[in-house]
Structure 1
Amino acid sequence: EQLIQTKSIHDFKRVSHILDEMKEICGDPIDSSSMERVSEFVEMKSNELKSKLDLLVPTNIINGSFKAYITFDCSNDTMNVINNLAKVCENTKYKIIFIALDNNRKTDKVQEQVIVSSQYDGEYPSIVKQIEREISQNFQDLSIIRIKIKVLTTNESVLLSDMEKDLFWSKTTNYFELRYTIPVRRSRKRDDLPYIQRRFQRLVRNNHNLHVSHDAFQKAYGNDLLYVITIRFFNGGAGLALVQHSSIIGMLEREKFSPLKVVQEFVVHDTNIKLDNCIE
């Protein structure tokens, strides 16, 4: 009851019991295989507690505006997919996005993604089924490889503490996402996406959850091209994401890459997190 009311762990007897079980699993001396078993045990207990809490009282309700991003398979014929989507999305709320992103650091391979976005108002988690049902009806003839739903961090419901994020949300499919639109001067050397990717990776620490993309439809922004740096934080709450954001902004401004636009969001639903190779 105390755990449910406070959304934090103060049941020391249960915690002590879990620690005792971890100690037994570890054995003496501790080796790497023991640590792996402990990690699996902690993950299992975490999921068990989350399931019990959600049955007793909803712990992650969010009311407000959501944005859904639907990614389509365009591996065979990109332009055909875009043309089909243009017909489906004509005079609707859907917006087509065509991006190129560098998600393979070893080969500098650039990936193209065709995405449709739309806005919704409602309550999470029930809105997920509503969005998925609508998407299934409207895009039944196209192959969908990802559905991603996000909410702005200005929504008070996602001002999560580190403990709330770890306790009530998935560590692999719920995360904070920061996007920075950066103008980069065009040149023969610097309008290459892998080059830009490597440059920002050197500048931004903890960059294993970073990728750089640009709108494949876009024309030049004056003498510049607009790139979007996307950085994801899987561990920690809103406070940690805000600290990281402040650090990144400071770094970008020192390097003369002042963002034209910054978007801070929390991802509540992601059906294919590995699509951008952001989990390694």
Structure 2
Amino acid sequence: MDRDKKPEGEPEGFEGLVERVSSGTLTPAWKNGKAGHFKDVENDYRYRFLETDLHCMAYKEEAEQPHKLPVIICGFCAYLIKNWGKDTSTIYNGYLDMRLGEYREQHLNDTDVPFRNLEKEFYSYHRTEEEELFNKSQGLFEYLSYNEGDRIRSYAANYFRYVETRMPDKVKNAGEAQKQEANHPPCFSRNFTATQTEQLFSGLKEGGFISTGTPYSHFYHVFGGTPVPEDEKPFRPLQWTGTVKELHYFISRHFPRETNQWLKTVHYFTKDNKPINKKSLGTAMDKYDNPPESSAAIDRLLS
């Protein structure tokens, strides 16, 4: 869609709706024809829409348990809307510093924290995570005018640019090195037939070990060494939804002689949208540990 041109057929009179989202205003005037208001129900920068009848006289039944309603706005978009009207630098700085502070707080009591660079870790995953949260906020745009939606998209795009300017030099340099290797990154070297790769892919999804939304082309890039198609770039690490112990067992079981097996694993997998610590992964099990309860299912992935 040409973003410099208003879509044909969009009704007039839908400006000023972002302010209504921010203030929680109850209104029947949303662009998609719904009536109700937005609310950050749990005060955690996740907005839900509490729908009413078209006269705003009574809430619909689902709104009686608002914490169970789907999240419409999250991440940077939610922070932007809650701080709508403040100057841009204040918004960008405030959100980035808040997220960095949260990351430091989450890992404050980790036993290995004296040997880690938490700021570097944070910047290594923050942009990818925020892009995913922005994608989850796409439902917002059906409530707003095209012009307001386009302004929010511009804020988000420029926030991602701003994050790059705040990155420590070591992280920037690492990012440049990754870009240079993008066409030929180290992949797992075990040879699979096409049938085996499909079996592994479906088995990991059905077993709840990788995200159900994992693109097959990205999976095949990791375990088949094929380039990611242009229309499915950029490549993003596979989201491991099992435990770290299960990931350790999966790699040990099916890639026992893989060179740099843990380095490759943390390169190609993340957990909870965050990098996996290579040392923690490599020591998640030793020869005296019992296999995870899911070991039989993992064994059958390539039976």
Fold shared by both chains (TM-score > 0.5): no
Structure showing greater radius of gyration is 2
Between Structure 1 and Structure 2, which shows a larger proportion of helix residues? Answer: 2
Between Structure 1 and Structure 2, which shows a larger proportion of strand residues? Answer: 1
TM-score (norm 2): 0.27
Which structure has more RCO (C-alpha within 8 Å, separation ≥ 6)?
A: 1
TM-score (norm 1): 0.29
